[in-house]
C-alpha cells in the first residue's frame, strides 16, 4: 500500500480556492515550498483533480511541462478530456491510485474534492500545510482536521516581504 502526503495552502477558515483559482494570487515563497517538498526524490507523483489541473494550466499559461520532474495523475470520470494534456496520466477512480506502487512519494495536491477523499484514508500520514495569514472569501475549503488525530511536528514562520504580500507559516502535521 502506498502512503500519501497531502500538500495544501490555506487562508483563514481553511479557504483554498475561489472561482477555480488560488484567492491570494502569486506567493513565490509558497510556490518554492511546494517545489522543494515535491521534488528532489528519485520518484515523485502528484495527484490532483481535474479542476485543479485547469487551475494550474491557467496559472502557468500552458498545458504541458506543468510540474517538471513529477508524474501528474489527474482524477476525472471522463478520461477522453485528458487527450489535451499529454504529460498527465488520467485516472478514473481513486482505487487505481491506492493500487499505485510504494516506490514513489505520492503527494495529494487538491482541490477540495480530492482532499476530502484522501484525508480519511489511513494511508494518508502527513499534511504539509501552508497557513497564509490572511482573510479571503472562498468557495472551496480544506477539511477541518480532528485535533486528536493530527499532531503538528514542525512549524516555520515567514513574515511578509516585498515579493510575498502575506506572512505564512509552514506546518507539518502527522497522523497521531
Ligand X SMILES: NC(=O)c1ccc[n+]([C@@H]2O[C@H](COP(=O)([O-])OP(=O)(O)OC[C@H]3O[C@@H](n4cnc5c(N)ncnc54)[C@H](OP(=O)(O)O)[C@@H]3O)[C@@H](O)[C@H]2O)c1
**Closest CB 5 distance from ligand X, rounded Å:** 13
Should residue 148 be labelled a site residue for ligand X when binding is judged by CB under 6 A?
A: no
Cell of 105: 512519494
Should residue 135 be labelled a site residue for ligand X when binding is judged by CB under 6 A?
A: no
Should residue 50 be labelled a site residue for ligand X when binding is judged by CB under 6 A?
A: yes
The 105-108 sheet, strands edge to edge: 88-91, 70-75, 44-49, 105-108, 4-10, 124-132, 168-175, 150-158
**Closest CB 138 distance from ligand X, rounded Å:** 8
Instruction: State which of residues 51, 66, 73, 85 lies at the interface with ligand X (CB under 6 A).
Output: 51
Please give the Cα distance from 19 to 171 (Å, whole number).
Answer: 26
CB 55 within 8 A of CB 17: yes
Q: What is the dihedral of CA 142, 147, 150, 156, to 10 degrees?
A: 80
Should residue 112 be labelled a site residue for ligand X when binding is judged by CB under 6 A?
A: yes
Closer of 52 and 105 to ligand X (Cβ): 52
Closer of 135 and 148 to ligand X (Cβ): 135
Between the alpha carbon of residue 47 and those of residues 6, 24, 147, the distances in Å are 9, 22, 25
φ and ψ of 112, to 5 deg? -55, -50
Q: Which range, of 61-69, 86-94, 150-158, 166-174, touches ligand X by CB under 6 A?
A: 86-94
Should residue 17 be labelled a site residue for ligand X when binding is judged by CB under 6 A?
A: yes
Should residue 90 be labelled a site residue for ligand X when binding is judged by CB under 6 A?
A: no
Residues that bind ligand X (CB under 6 A): 8-9, 16-17, 20-22, 48-52, 55, 75-78, 92-94, 109-114, 117, 140
Amino acid at each position: 500500500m502506498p502512503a500519501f502526503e497531502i500538500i495544501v495552502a490555506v487562508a483563514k477558515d481553511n479557504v483554498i480556492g475561489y472561482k477555480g483559482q488560488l484567492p491570494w494570487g502569486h506567493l513565490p515563497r509558497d510556490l518554492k515550498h511546494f517545489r522543494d517538498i515535491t521534488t528532489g526524490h528519485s520518484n515523485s507523483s502528484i495527484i490532483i483533480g481535474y479542476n485543479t489541473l485547469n487551475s494550474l494550466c491557467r496559472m502557468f499559461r500552458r498545458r504541458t511541462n506543468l510540474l517538471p520532474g513529477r508524474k501528474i495523475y489527474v482524477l476525472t470520470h471522463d478520461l477522453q478530456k485528458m487527450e489535451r494534456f499529454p504529460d498527465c496520466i488520467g485516472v478514473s477512480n481513486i482505487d487505481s491510485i491506492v493500487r499505485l506502487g510504494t516506490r514513489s512519494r505520492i503527494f495529494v495536491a487538491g482541490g477540495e474534492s480530492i482532499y476530502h477523499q484522501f484525508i480519511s484514508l489511513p494511508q494518508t500520514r502527513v499534511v504539509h500545510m501552508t497557513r497564509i495569514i490572511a482573510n479571503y472569501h472562498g468557495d472551496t475549503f480544506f477539511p477541518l482536521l480532528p485535533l486528536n488525530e493530527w499532531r503538528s511536528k514542525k512549524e516555520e514562520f515567514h513574515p511578509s516581504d516585498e515579493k510575498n504580500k502575506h506572512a505564512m507559516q509552514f506546518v507539518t502535521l502527522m497522523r497521531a
